[in-house]
Amino acid sequence: MDKIHIIGGVPLKGAITISGAKNAALPLMAACLLTDETLTLSNVPYLADIVTMANLLAQHGVTLSFRPHAQGRSLALNASKIHNFTAPYDLVRTMRASVLVLGPLLARFGEAKVSLPGGCAIGTRPIDLHLKALEAMGAEIKLEDGYVHARAPHGLQGATIQFDKVSVGATENILMAAALAKGDTVIRNAAREPEVSDLAHCLVQMGVKIDGIGSDELRVSGVAQLHGAAHVVVADRIEAGSFAAAAAITGGDVELLGARADMMQATVAALTDAGVTVSETPRGLRVSTTGRLRGADLMTQPYPGFATDMQAQMMALLSVADGASMMTETIFENRYMHAPELTRMGANIVLHGASALIRGVPKLRGAEVMATDLRASVSLVIAALAAEGETVIHRVYHLDRGYERLEEKLAGCGARIERIWSRKPLQVEAA
């Protein structure tokens, strides 16, 4: 398996271009299933998860073509010849977001069979909210042999859905289902993440009326047919936040080109509390640190709160801050797998249930560490960039799921980082 070697201690200096958001591109790709016309997405990041979603859609019968584009890679998707309504275990197991095909397949074809995602590295992550909401819209749902069989032979009906928990994926699935349902659907306690709004804006372009975009109450007026559209995927706020943490921990000065400050307010506030200077520029965000970092207390929350997807990166940063910090994870259980690895690099972290007490140390030291999930992996990269000596990160396939050209982007700012390939790199022009 590939490894990443990093020799720490170089302050990052320069500019990094932020890619399109993985978590926006995945639901947008699934939205192609809602129409027999072509949906063209640009600024699509080239990542393992995008390839997985492409393969999933292809086996349903979608034709896909990746092309170079002025605004990043573009992807044309056409779902006029769908012949298979099953999302198989092998694909759903590798990427939970595969469950996003459920809503659109069911809404357009009255039928879908999707493998249950099963356990995952950051907790149980059920899909009960997705299923209950689809039932409220008239779907018949059966669970058999590890699969969800959903049927709506006479189509879905608009309904009022009150989620008892904020879920990004459930909000997206129901938004897509509601687009082709008869009548109006009201989604209460909807997720407000920018990626949900990006999907909603694309659905509007495809012909649906949606009120309340960006709020926790979405009202969708379903239509009989949707048409094609061209949509630019929003910038990846988590990638931007990750590079911001990398710049900050090394005492660097980096401009994040295309980063959207308006979508990263909680991350900017967290960095600022920790003594990092963050300012908006005409091209994005500039992040720099001159003095020592200082401890800060953080709690993960649904958007606009501090993102669970930034928790590991901030923990790496706070592990070398002056004083103590308290981190509380409220979204996922078991999302501190990076903590023991950071401890192996010299961090002083004590876990207690959903909380982590981080007592800042003057310096981290390089070590051999193991990546366990996407954001945990990048937190080890961030720690390694500031550590004394060499760090070797194993299982970097997790990073390939969510960070496009990570080594190249960091090396462009002076980082001493190298990937040791154990296999050939992914081919860029995959179908």
Minimum Å distance from CB 79 to ligand UD1? 20
Q: Are 245 and 292 in contact (CB under 8 A)?
A: no
Q: Does 298 bind ligand UD1 (CB under 6 A)?
A: no
Q: Which of 167, 197, 325, 377 is the binder for ligand UD1 (CB under 6 A)?
A: 167
Residue with the two structure tokens 């501090």: 306
Residues 2-21 that bind ligand UD1 (CB under 6 A): none
Catalytic residue among 32, 120, 202, 413: 120
Q: Which of 66, 306, 332, 403 is the binder for ligand UD1 (CB under 6 A)?
A: 332
Nearer to ligand UD1, 240 or 254 (CB): 240
Stretch that binds ligand UD1, among 82-90, 161-169, 246-254, 267-275 (CB under 6 A): 161-169
Catalytic site residue 32? no
Residue with the two structure tokens 């879908």: 112
Q: Which of 44, 331, 339, 376 is the binder for ligand UD1 (CB under 6 A)?
A: 331
Q: Does 170 bind ligand UD1 (CB under 6 A)?
A: yes
Torsion from C-alpha of 412, 417, 420, 423, nearest 10 degrees: -40
Task: Name the percent of the chain in helix, strand, coil, to the closest 5.
Answer: 35, 30, 40
Cβ contacts of residue 151 below 8 Å, gap of 6+? 106, 110, 111, 139, 140
Burial 260-296 (b: 16+ CB within 10 A, else e): bbebbebbbebbebbbbebeeeeebbbbbbeeebebb
Nearer to ligand UD1, 10 or 268 (CB): 268
Euclidean distance between CA atoms 106 and 153, whole angstroms: 9
Minimum Å distance from CB 344 to ligand UD1? 24
Stretch that binds ligand UD1, among 38-46, 153-161, 162-170, 421-429 (CB under 6 A): 162-170
Q: Which of 17, 19, 23, 372 is the binder for ligand UD1 (CB under 6 A)?
A: 23
Euclidean distance between CA atoms 36 and 238, whole angstroms: 32
Q: Are 34 and 82 in contact (CB under 8 A)?
A: no
Q: Which of 5, 69, 93, 96 is the binder for ligand UD1 (CB under 6 A)?
A: 96
Residue nearest to ligand UD1 according to CB distances in the complex? 169
Q: Are 106 and 138 in contact (CB under 8 A)?
A: no
Euclidean distance between CA atoms 202 and 76, whole angstroms: 14
Minimum Å distance from CB 255 to ligand UD1? 25
Q: Which of 222, 216, 107 is nearest to 164 (CA)?
A: 216
Euclidean distance between CA atoms 431 and 428, whole angstroms: 9
Minimum Å distance from CB 375 to ligand UD1? 8
Q: Does 194 bind ligand UD1 (CB under 6 A)?
A: no
Residue 304, preceding bond cis, omega within 30 degrees? yes
Nearer to ligand UD1, 77 or 320 (CB): 77
Minimum Å distance from CB 169 to ligand UD1? 3
Minimum Å distance from CB 262 to ligand UD1? 18
Nearer to ligand UD1, 11 or 402 (CB): 402
Q: Which of 164, 187, 123 is nearest to 332 (CA)?
A: 123
Minimum Å distance from CB 121 to ligand UD1? 12
Q: Does 309 bind ligand UD1 (CB under 6 A)?
A: yes
Minimum Å distance from CB 354 to ligand UD1? 11
Kindly state the number of chain residues that form the binding site for ligand UD1, as judged by CB under 6 A.
21
Residues 113-152 that bind ligand UD1 (CB under 6 A): 125-130
Euclidean distance between CA atoms 397 and 404, whole angstroms: 12
How many residues are there in the chain?
431
Q: Which of 56, 92, 168, 364 is the binder for ligand UD1 (CB under 6 A)?
A: 168
Q: Which residues are catalytic?
A: 120
Residue numbers at the binding site for ligand UD1 (CB under 6 A): 23, 26, 96-97, 125-130, 165, 167-170, 191, 195, 308-309, 331-332
